[in-house]
Amino acid sequence: MKLLEINHLNKGFDGKTVLKDISMYVEKGEVVSIIGPSGSGKSTLLRCATFLETMDDGDLSYCEKQVVRSADGKAVYPSKAEMKEAKSKFSLVSPIHVMKRDKEEVFQEAHKILEKVGLSDKLNAYPFELSGGQQQRVAIARALVMNPEILFFDEPTSALDPEITAGILRIMKELAEEKMTMVIVTHEIDFAKAVSDRVIFMDGGLIVEQGKPSDVIDNPKHERTKAFLKKLSV
């Protein structure tokens, strides 16, 4: 089953096109990595998929139920109730955002999950008492509390030391082994290669190529993909 499907997504800011005719999908149990240079539209794609930005045009479905549809070249969003249902399908782990003490039941559930990420003694800690890596683990725990069908990550390790990065990547790898469906924007190419079922390479607001890591990363077809990977490897 396709947990997420996007077709012909277009998005611009102040007349400048940022996403051009983006079509992608995520099957249940898949890990899909999105790679590409800075400014290529990766975060905007994630933000459109998670309703933090509105699409200008295109179709979007969660769990094979259409949420946003294109009509007369414009994206049409549904009622609040339908949006709420769609939002319950996913969690977004943003770069370092931390546990607020909001709902008590969420906090209780968080204890179990903090155990999973190796931080059960930190349930009562305040964000400023946690290191960057611990904060990121809490952010993952927080996202898991909602029991989402899909987890989205936007460069989860970009602000972290190499050692701490390794720890976070290990947790994500474990989630992948447990068949958690994930969409990961990352610059960690080796990691993307190791955990992804499919890789999407974006450049200039376009999906240049997508496919198995053994194709996109090891045998890229397009010059732009080759140039990007070459830059990362030196």
- Asked if 94 is part of the footprint of Mg ion (rule: CB under 5 A), the reply reads no
Nearest approach, Cβ of residue 97 and ligand ADP (Å) = 16
Is the Cβ of residue 108 or residue 232 nearer to ligand ADP in the bound state? 232
Is the Cβ of residue 145 or residue 192 nearer to ligand ADP in the bound state? 192
Q: What DSSP string describes 6-72?
A: EEEEEEEETTEEEEEEEEEEEETT-EEEEE--TTSSHHHHHHHHTTSS--SEEEEEETTEEEEEEET
> First-to-last CA distance in the chain?
39
Is the Cβ of residue 38 or residue 124 nearer to ligand ADP in the bound state? 38
Nearest approach, Cβ of residue 152 and ligand ADP (Å) = 13
CA separation for the pair 60, 78 (Å, rounded)? 11
- Asked if 157 is part of the footprint of Mg ion (rule: CB under 5 A), the reply reads no
Q: Where are the alpha helices (DSSP H) in 99-161?
A: 104-116, 132-145
CA separation for the pair 115, 2 (Å, rounded)? 30
Binding test (CB under 5 A) with Mg ion, winner from 10, 33, 40, 43: 43
Nearest approach, Cβ of residue 48 and Mg ion (Å) = 13
Which of ligand ADP, Mg ion, none lies near 124, with the C-beta cut-off 5 to 8 A by kind?
Answer: none
Measure CA 200 to chain center.
12
Nearest approach, Cβ of residue 46 and Mg ion (Å) = 8
Applying CB under 5 A, the span of 42-50, 80-88, 110-118, 189-197 interacting with Mg ion comes to 42-50
Q: Which of 94, 3, 218 is nearest to 226 (CA)?
A: 218
Which of ligand ADP, Mg ion, none lies near 79, with the C-beta cut-off 5 to 8 A by kind?
Answer: none
CA separation for the pair 121, 58 (Å, rounded)? 45
Nearest approach, Cβ of residue 43 and Mg ion (Å) = 3
Give contact residues for Mg ion (rule: CB under 5 A).
Answer: 42-43
